[in-house]
Amino acid sequence: MKRDECLRALARHVTDEIVVATYQAAFDWLVIRPHPLNYVSIGAMGIASSHALGLALGRPDKRILVLDGDGSLLMNLGSLVSVVEAAPRNFVHFVCENGTYEANGAHPIPGRNRVSFVGFARAAGYARCHEFTDLAEFETRIAAVLREEGPVFVDLKVEPGKPSPQDYGYIHSAAARSSFKAALRSS
C-alpha cells in the first residue's frame, strides 16, 4: 500500500477525533487532512503514542488516533505495555510500517521484515490487533476497526507514496500547539 493512499482512506472516516501524527506520517496527514485537532508537536522521536496516551486520559470523551512510524515505535516499545496498563478505551494506535527511518535518510530499521509489530502489541496485551497489506481490504474494514473499543493496534504495511513537504517549521511551531489547544478546549 502507498502510505498516502492508505491515509486518504483513513481520512474519509475521521470526523472529530484527535489525530496524533509523527514524522513522515504527520507530513502526509497535514496535507491530506489539515484540521485544528491534528496534534503534531511530538518533539522527540518515539513518543507520539505517549503524547496520545496523555490526551486519551485527559479527554476520555474524545477518540485519539495515533499515526506512528515503525522506527519511532521501536524507540518506545514499552509504551505498548504502558498503554495496555492504562487501558484507554478511546485509543487507536496505527503504525506505518515501511521498514525504514524514512525521515532520517531511509536507512533500514533493525529487524526489518523479521519483527512483527502486531506480535509486539499482542505480547504487550493488546486485545484488538490488525495488520493490513492491501488497500482494498483496509478500505473495507477500517470503519469497523475505528468502532472497536480501545486500545486498538493497527499495523499498516506501507511504502512511500507521493512525497509530502517536510514542514518541520510548522510541526515545531508555537502556532501549531496553540491552535491545537484552542481547538481542543472548544471541542
Partner 1 sequence: MTMPDEQQLHGASIIAAIKASGIEFVVSVPDITTSEGLLRPIAHDPEFRLIRICKEDEGVAICTGLAFCDRRSLLLIQNTGLMDSINAVRAVAVEYEQPVCMMVGLQGKEPDRKPRDSAKYGVRIVEPILEIMGIDQHLIETDSDIAQIRPAIDAAYARSRPVVLLIGRSPSAP
Positions touching partner 1 (CB under 8 A) are: 39, 41-44, 46-48, 50-59, 76, 78-79, 81-82, 85-86, 172, 174, 177, 180-181, 184-185
Name which of 4 and 68 has its Cβ closer to partner 1.
68
CB of 26 to partner 1, least distance (A): 15
CB of 161 to partner 1, least distance (A): 28
Q: What share of the chain is helix, strand, coil (3-state, %, to 5)?
A: 45, 20, 35
Name which of 7 and 48 has its Cβ closer to partner 1.
48
* DSSP summary character for residue 44: S
Q: Is 68 in a helix, a strand, or coil?
A: strand
Count of other CB atoms within 10 angstroms of residue 16: 9
Name which of 24 and 41 has its Cβ closer to partner 1.
41
CB of 22 to partner 1, least distance (A): 11
CB of 51 to partner 1, least distance (A): 4
Nearest of 74, 71, 77, 75 to residue 104 by alpha carbon:
71
**Three-class secondary structure assignment of 106-175:** CEECCCCCCCCHHHHHHHHCCCEEEEECCHHHHHHHHHHHHHCCCCEEEEEECECCCCCCCCHHHHCCHH
CB of 187 to partner 1, least distance (A): 11
Name which of 22 and 100 has its Cβ closer to partner 1.
22
Name which of 54 and 99 has its Cβ closer to partner 1.
54
